[in-house]
Amino acid sequence: MSGPSQYTPKSNFAKWLERRLPIISFVYDSFVAYPVPKNLNYMWTFGAILSFMLVAQIITGVVLAMHYTPEVSFAFNSVENIMRDVNWGWALRYAHANGASMFFLAVYIHIFRGMYYGSYKEPRELLWILGVVIFMVMMATGFLGYVLPWGQMSFWAATVITNLFSALPVVGPSITTWLLGGYSVDNATLNRFFALHYLLPFIIVAIVALHVWALHVTGQNNPDGVEVKNVKKDTVPFTPYATMKDGFAIGVFLVLYAWMTFFVPNYLGHPDNYIEANPLVTPPHIVPEWYFLPFYAILRAIPNKLLGVIALFMSILIAAALPWLDTSKVKSGTYRPTFRKFYWIFVAVSIGLGYLGSQPAEGAFLWVARVLTFYYFFHFLVILPVLSRREKTTAVPNSIAEAVENRGASHA
């Protein structure tokens, strides 16, 4: 939190350093003394899990980059070479590929937690928008990374996604050519995708820094959605309370991550990506990675290509407008019974869109996808604004301390 530092340097070196670069007090105030609402549940550990995953992806990724060759005739074989002949290469590559999935799993839980507890509301609008930006850069990074092994799905996913830009009027085709570095996905594309895939994670690090900075200014939201009134009564210091709880959550998350990496490493992948890219053979079904499926369903639900692309981007960007769509003064879904019902319907719709994204866009699948796409936007543009005005909320506690006391009383 902002304000004078809680850190007093003791040693001479710390005093010397503090006068010149107050880095110790910065770390101390941010990760030791920083007050954390004491009513946070385990849904609040995903920030730490995501930070861990970001670092894990960068470390495995940098080592993989030492062995990978971004050239169309070598890329596929260089990945197989990593799997076969590089010491621990199989572990690095499976950890990185599954790490991307775990990263997205965590980010989806993180985002849906924010939606349930109204974490986007005043004064956390910018914090939320930064989160949406991080999510978008993550999506770009995930897509670029999927292209690098240069399998059939890599190649055709790159073709489909870059093709989206050609839907733009007038400038579309030129932009697509510019993105590809040619007229089709080829060596120039692979090379620049590799360069960007290496660059973007560091951009994410920078935006995460802003995200955490903004968080530390406003303080965390919490399951009761009431702001901290009394630091002594409502909060506990970050260390050891939050650090230990986050540590435990990361430990549990790692068990899942290790299971995926060591025992079912290809479960989330597509067998076609073990066939080397071939521009002359189109796979019968081009499907993106699972974490893009809901958006892919929205794209294909709309018969017009340009409108489909607009719907795709809007379905992500609309989240940034949440603070102004949901104007209810009550933050937490805990005290909004009607909102809660619509929230879970929205979760089900999002998962349903994900399933439909994996199916061919035809017949009943297509029509259900259209209904769900309509509902997806309806939730943001109609349900949330109307709910904010009409809904009867239940009594919100006056403070975090009171909420904790009430809960203790009802448990006893």
Which residues are near another protein by CB under 8 A? 38-40, 77, 80, 83-84, 90-91, 94, 152, 236, 240-241, 244-245, 247-248, 251-252, 254-255, 258-267, 270-272, 274-275, 281, 283-285, 355, 359-360, 363-365, 404-405, 408
Chain-centroid distance of CA 102 in Å reads 10
**Which has the closest alpha carbon to 243: 52, 106, 104?**
52
Distance in angstroms (rounded) separating the CA atoms of residues 404 and 401: 5
Tell me whether residue 117 or residue 343 sits nearer to another protein (CB atom). Answer: 117
Tell me whether residue 303 or residue 363 sits nearer to another protein (CB atom). Answer: 363
Whether cis (ω within 30° of 0) applies to the bond prior to 123 is yes
Tell me whether residue 236 or residue 318 sits nearer to another protein (CB atom). Answer: 236
Both tokens of 86, joined, read 């590089």
Distance in angstroms (rounded) separating the CA atoms of residues 140 and 177: 18
Tell me whether residue 153 or residue 319 sits nearer to another protein (CB atom). Answer: 153
Tell me whether residue 102 or residue 325 sits nearer to another protein (CB atom). Answer: 102
Tell me whether residue 247 or residue 337 sits nearer to another protein (CB atom). Answer: 247
Partners of 9 in the β-ladder = none
Tell me whether residue 332 or residue 359 sits nearer to another protein (CB atom). Answer: 359
**Which has the closest alpha carbon to 211: 105, 104, 111, 139?**
111
CB of 26 to another protein, least distance (A): 24
CB of 184 to another protein, least distance (A): 20
Both tokens of 312, joined, read 């795709």
Distance in angstroms (rounded) separating the CA atoms of residues 169 and 174: 10
Distance in angstroms (rounded) separating the CA atoms of residues 230 and 219: 13
Phi/psi of residue 123, each to 5°?
Answer: -100, 30
CA distances 330 to 40, 185, 263, 388, Å, are 17, 49, 44, 9
CB of 400 to another protein, least distance (A): 9
Distance in angstroms (rounded) separating the CA atoms of residues 230 and 226: 11
Tell me whether residue 198 or residue 257 sits nearer to another protein (CB atom). Answer: 257
Phi/psi of residue 276, each to 5°?
Answer: -60, 145
CB of 347 to another protein, least distance (A): 17
CB of 320 to another protein, least distance (A): 32
Contact by Cβ (8 Å): 23, 230? no
CB of 122 to another protein, least distance (A): 25
Distance in angstroms (rounded) separating the CA atoms of residues 114 and 254: 23
CB of 6 to another protein, least distance (A): 19
Give the Cβ contact number of residue 225 at 10 Å: 24
CB of 20 to another protein, least distance (A): 34
CB of 74 to another protein, least distance (A): 13
Tell me whether residue 201 or residue 357 sits nearer to another protein (CB atom). Answer: 357
Q: What is the DSSP letter of 185?
A: S
